[in-house]
Amino acid sequence: MKNANLILLLSLISLLTSPIVNAQCESVTLESLTNPGPYEVATLTEADGIRNGPDYAGATIYYPTNGTGPFASIAMVPGFTALPASIEEWGPFYASHGIVTIIIGTNSLVDFPEVRANALLDALETIKQENTRSSSPLEGALNTNQLAVSGWSMGGGGAQRAAVLDNSISAVVALCPYLNNSALNHDAALLILSGEEDTIAPPSEQADVHYSNTPNTTDKLLFEVANGDHSVANTPNGGDGVVGQIALSWLKLQLEEKECYCPLLTNNLLLNPTAASNVLQNFECDALGIDASKQAIGYSPNPTKNTITFNNTERVLFELFSPLGQSLLKGQLTKENPQIDLSDFPPGIYYLRTKNQIMKLMKVD
């Protein structure tokens, strides 16, 4: 009876979630990662009643005015001797895609990373209080369990340290980070954006070391922009716009937990990127919400140029999906006909779903 109930449950989940997944993923494309995004943006400052945090100097909150919450949030801090204006383009960019952003100044322009880490945590407290402030347009509109931190240069190092100090932080976006503290033991999903020609925080001495010193159990991605300098990630337009596309996709995936953005990263933005001089990654996609490691049917060859043969002894219904969840082919495998022909599909990654497992297939030339 338990097995029958499990099969019934899996079947119902498959029927109910497949249209939803497909509908959500159809709108997730490279073209959807625009600057600006689909939402109108407004700002809040202390003059509008937001909290004046003691560990930072001045703040601006950017938020979508015509989106539907609850929204995720990110706090950002600039680098050594820099003002908030140095990174302010990130505010309207993120907010126009539905991520509330608070950009802060520092009490001293020469604050070191650890002080900037505390400033970021103080900024997150301001975000949390906006969710309960009765006169705030963000009252009740924030998901205070979806919080990220980011910063440039020493601010990027501070973002890493903030994640160490507060394990409620879900994601970190470090922009050409500078930090000489190797204690980076945290599980917040880490994105490092660095510049190949950065002479202030050379990647070999900073970004690459930060990546290595972050645990391998943490989802992490390093994207080094070819010919980029220390300011290459100060705006989402860096690297001809790929900086913003990657940062937004990372936050949509890791902060908002929208799995559709994972294959967009792995199969598009990170697949032989012309804008990158170095890419390191340690994360995987959970395709269509099903554990790909649970293999019940053997198959080969994979990769394949045309057909794949399956080692099944009973009739099995299948559905083939694109990396973005679009249904491409339906059919059944049998003992007499155990093959699927991918000859009509272009090279790339595909997902094959049966009633209780999903297989990652690769088609090559």
Q: Provide the b/e sequence for 301-315 (b: ≥16 CB within 10 Å).
A: eeebeeebebebeee
Close Cβ partners of 353 (under 8 Å, ≥ 6 residues apart):
14, 288, 290, 318, 319, 320, 321, 359
CATH 2.60.40.10 domain position(s) in the chain: 288-363
CATH 3.10.620.30 describes domain 288-363: no
Bridge partners (DSSP) of residue 280 are 222
* Long-range contacts formed by 83-90: CB under 8 A, 24+ apart: 83/109, 84/58, 84/60, 86/152, 86/231, 86/234, 87/151, 87/152, 87/155, 87/175, 87/234, 87/235, 88/60, 89/234, 89/235, 89/236, 89/237, 90/150, 90/235, 90/236, 90/247
* Beta carbons within 10 angstroms of residue 283's beta carbon: 17
At 82 the three-state DSSP class reads: coil
Radius of gyration of the chain (CA): 22
DSSP state of 59: E
Residues serving a catalytic function are: 153, 198, 230
Question: pLDDT per residue over 122-173, tens digit each?
Answer: 999 999 999 999 999 999 999 999 999 999 999 999 999 999 999 999 999 9
Query: How far apart (Å, rounded) are the C-alpha atoms in residues 273 and 98?
Result: 26
pTM of the full structure: 0.76
* Beta carbons within 10 angstroms of residue 208's beta carbon: 17
pLDDT in 10s for each residue of the chain, 365 residues: 334 333 333 333 343 344 444 445 667 889 999 999 999 999 999 999 999 999 999 999 999 999 989 999 999 999 999 999 999 999 999 999 999 999 999 999 999 999 999 999 999 999 999 999 999 999 999 999 999 999 999 999 999 999 999 999 999 999 999 999 778 999 999 999 999 999 999 999 999 999 999 999 999 999 999 999 999 999 999 999 999 999 999 999 999 999 889 988 987 899 888 999 999 999 887 644 444 444 457 788 888 888 998 887 678 888 888 766 678 899 888 888 889 999 898 888 888 888 667 788 888 87
> Is cis: bond before 303, omega within 30 of 0?
yes
The sheet carrying 316-321 orders its strands as: 327-333, 316-321, 348-353, 358-363
Q: Is 148 within 8 Å of 173 (Cβ atoms)?
A: yes
Query: At 287, phi and psi to the nearest 5?
Result: -65, 125
Query: How far apart (Å, rounded) are the C-alpha atoms in residues 101 and 247?
Result: 13
CATH 3.40.50.1820 domain position(s) in the chain: 30-285
Residue holding tokens 């970004």?
207
**CA–centroid distance for 259 within its chain:** 9
Pairing between β-strand 189-195 and β-strand 171-175 as defined by DSSP bridges: parallel
Q: Is 194 within 8 Å of 247 (Cβ atoms)?
A: no
Both structure tokens of 287: 């395709």
Nearest to 66 by CA among 42, 33, 36: 42
* Beta carbons within 10 angstroms of residue 344's beta carbon: 9
Name the CATH superfamily, with its identifier, for domain 30-285: Alpha/Beta hydrolase fold, catalytic domain (3.40.50.1820)
